[in-house]
Amino acid sequence: MTKRQSLHGEWSSRWAFILAATGSAVGLGNIWKFPYITGENGGGAFVLVYLVCIAAVGIPIMIAEILLGRLGRRSPINTMRYLARQARANPRWQYLGWIGVLAGFLILSYYSVIAGWALAYVFRLGAGTFSGADAETVQAAFDGLLASPEILLAWHTIFMLMTMLVVARGVRSGLEAAVRFLMPLLFVLLAIMVGYAMSTGAFMEGVRFLFQPDFSKLSGTAVLVAMGHAFFTLSLGMGAIMIYGSYLPEKASITQASFYIAGADTLVALMAGLAIFPIVFANGMEPGAGPGLIFVTLPIAFGNMPAGALFGTLFFLLLVFAAWSSAISLIEPAVTHLVEDHGHSRIKACLWAGLATWLLGIGTVLSFNWGSEWTLFGKTFFDLLDFLTANIMLPLGGLFIALFAGWVLARRDSERELGDGWGYRAWRFTVRYVSPLAVFIVFLRSIEVI
Ligand code: PHE
């Protein structure tokens, strides 16, 4: 296979890539979703399954996805088209790229609405809205936010504009510049929050909830949700990591980068859990409160602690930053596709992709108020999008990425990129057999359950 160059540029270094991919991986998934689905699914056992999925399925597929990206160096659609042609395989492999672009678009449409909640809370906490507030007041404030489509829409619009702004500036001066500044700040803020949680007196209760597995609480759907979340949190299965991999300099080690990214992502999720659950328990609140968990429990804590307005503002600011650096990677596959296949400039591509995503986001906005009764299989529009993308599309995309890298791509190509030691053989065995089988079994089990 000949060496190709990306049309869209390259990261300035291996570290820039690791930072950007970590920025993509660490997002609402870690800080908003992980704690609430852990709470809904009973804690420890769920966390254990999630960690096994990260190690046995997530990391090998991340290596595969970066590998395909760097070999193809185009949008996920064109990368798959090119790699399939090189391997003399069925041209339908390009649909993998299409599903990815579609999944990114669907995810961003609701992701931006939730990021909008976080934006709203930066200002609420900054204004000291919750100082001294009790549970009822905070719950009422959250319900009030969800009941106002115009406010949700305004924040959703602002967040989409922020995302477009970065993406329009391109790989180095947009994406890379943003994460260089955001990522270090995020770690510092989270560490401060864990420090606070340690002082609540319920820290050990939080630790037990997260790490003491009780398998009687683990349902078949919980296993599917844990696996889906492993893909979601690592940004796998939809081409985000593939397109970031396509900007990776030739010499950087893909395997090492994958371990760093997955490690940092897991660390942030566990830190978020350790920051949030002690506060939940110290205030006698419910861990299974659902998507509103951090928005109804944390403000109570912030409202009743010294300098709570400051910490609260910082916390939600952190959440916005984390969401921002993920959002740009959700839309990058679509933008590169529009540039490559429709001849748009990056700015124009960005506008079109952004506009379409913004429009679809209105569906999610309405699913919390006027449209809360519009359900399919008992799920609202938002629940449906979340379930379809995280639990079906991403694992399916990941499954096919593993199959392509393990069975279709010529061995000499993957070996040349990844090195030929025992690590390579272990990876190849995993993507050929272990990861596909694991995804398949979880799917089967959940079909029975559903
Ligand atoms: N990984 C991001 C998060 O945890 C979400 C995401 C999914 C980003 C898929 C890109 C692709 O919030």
Distance of CA 30 to the CA centre of its chain: 7
Q: How confident is the model at residue 448 (pLDDT cuts 50, 70, 90)?
A: low
Percent of the chain beyond pLDDT 90? Answer: 66
**Separation of alpha carbons 182 and 327, rounded Å:** 13
pLDDT at 450 > cutoff 70: no
Determine the pLDDT at residue 277: 92
| Cα of 234 from ligand 1 centre, angstroms | 6
**Separation of alpha carbons 267 and 247, rounded Å:** 25
Inter-residue contact 290 to 280 (CB < 8 Å): no
**Separation of alpha carbons 329 and 110, rounded Å:** 15
Q: How confident is the model at residue 168 (pLDDT cuts 50, 70, 90)?
A: confident
| Cβ neighbours for 43, distance < 8 A, ≥ 6 positions apart | 209, 210, 212, 213, 214, 217, 287
Q: How confident is the model at residue 449 (pLDDT cuts 50, 70, 90)?
A: low
Listed range (138-142, 167-171, 367-371) with the worst mean pLDDT: 167-171
The architecture (CATH level 2) of 14-446 comes to Up-down Bundle (1.20)
Rg for the chain, CA atoms, rounded: 21
**Separation of alpha carbons 38 and 274, rounded Å:** 12
Determine the pLDDT at residue 220: 83
Does ligand 1 come within 6 angstroms of the Cβ of 240? yes
Does ligand 1 come within 6 angstroms of the Cβ of 24? yes
**Separation of alpha carbons 4 and 307, rounded Å:** 53
- Count of CB atoms within 10 A of residue 238's CB? 32
Domain-by-domain residue ranges, the chain? 14-446
Determine the pLDDT at residue 389: 95
Mean pLDDT of 31-57: 95
Percent of the chain beyond pLDDT 70? Answer: 97
**Separation of alpha carbons 203 and 436, rounded Å:** 38
Q: How confident is the model at residue 79 (pLDDT cuts 50, 70, 90)?
A: very high
Q: Which residue has the tokens 């909830």?
A: 209
pLDDT at 445 > cutoff 90: no
Does ligand 1 come within 6 angstroms of the Cβ of 446? no
Average pLDDT of every residue of the chain: 91
Determine the pLDDT at residue 314: 84
Return the structure tokens found at 36: 């609430």
Ligand 1 site-directed mutation target among 53, 233, 244, 320, most atoms within 8 Å of CB: 233
Residue nearest to atom 7 of ligand 1 (CA): 235
**Is pLDDT larger for residue 139 or for residue 3?**
139
Render pLDDT for 268-280 as a digit per residue (tens, 0 to 9): 999 999 998 998 8
Which residues sit opposite 379 in a β-bridge?
376
Mean pLDDT of 56-72: 96
pLDDT at 355 > cutoff 70: yes
Q: How confident is the model at residue 155 (pLDDT cuts 50, 70, 90)?
A: very high
| Cα of 135 from ligand 1 centre, angstroms | 30
Does ligand 1 come within 6 angstroms of the Cβ of 218? no
Determine the pLDDT at residue 424: 96
Q: How confident is the model at residue 172 (pLDDT cuts 50, 70, 90)?
A: low
Q: Is 221 exposed, middle or buried (0-12, 13-18, 19+ CB in 10 A)?
A: middle
Q: Of 270, 230, 204, 215, which is closest to residue 41 (Cα–Cα)?
A: 215
Determine the pLDDT at residue 99: 94
Q: Is the dihedral of CA 181, 184, 189, 190 positive or negative?
A: positive
| Cα of 21 from ligand 1 centre, angstroms | 10
Could you identify the atom of ligand 1 that is nearest to the CA of residue 30? 4
Mean pLDDT of 173-178: 68
The three-state (H, E, C) secondary structure of the chain, written as one string = CCCCCCCCCCCCCHHHHHHHHHHHHCCHHHHHHHHHHHHHCCCHHHHHHHHHHHHHHHHHHHHHHHHHHHHHCCCHHHHHHHHHHHCCCCHHHHHHHHHHHHHHHHHHHHHHHHHHHHHHHHHHHHCCCCCCCCHHHHHHHHHHHHCCHHHHHHHHHHHHHHHHHHHHCCHHHHHHHHHHHHHHHHHHHHHHHHHHHHCCCCHHHHHHHHHCCCHHHCCHHHHHHHHHHHHHHCCCCCCHHHHHHCCCCCCCCHHHHHHHHHHHHHHHHHHHHHHHHHHHHHCCCCCCCHHHHHHHHHHHHHHCCCCHHHHHHHHHHHHHHHHHHHHHHHHHHHHHHHHHHHCCCHHHHHHHHHHHHHHHHHHHHHHCCHHHHCCECCECHHHHHHHHHHHHHHHHHHHHHHHHHHHHCCHHHHHHHHCCCHHHHHHHHHHHHHHHHHHHHHHHHHHHHC
| Cα of 395 from ligand 1 centre, angstroms | 13
Listed range (80-94, 102-116, 304-318, 412-426) with the worst mean pLDDT: 304-318
Does ligand 1 come within 6 angstroms of the Cβ of 326? yes
Determine the pLDDT at residue 132: 87
Render pLDDT for 357-374 as a digit per residue (tens, 0 to 9): 999 999 999 999 998 889
Mean pLDDT of 374-386: 91
**Separation of alpha carbons 151 and 137, rounded Å:** 19
Determine the pLDDT at residue 418: 94
Please tell me which of 219-228, 261-270, 339-348 the model is most confident about, judged by mean pLDDT: 261-270
Does ligand 1 come within 6 angstroms of the Cβ of 236? no
Could you identify the atom of ligand 1 that is nearest to the CA of residue 25? 1
Determine the pLDDT at residue 141: 94
Q: How confident is the model at residue 177 (pLDDT cuts 50, 70, 90)?
A: confident
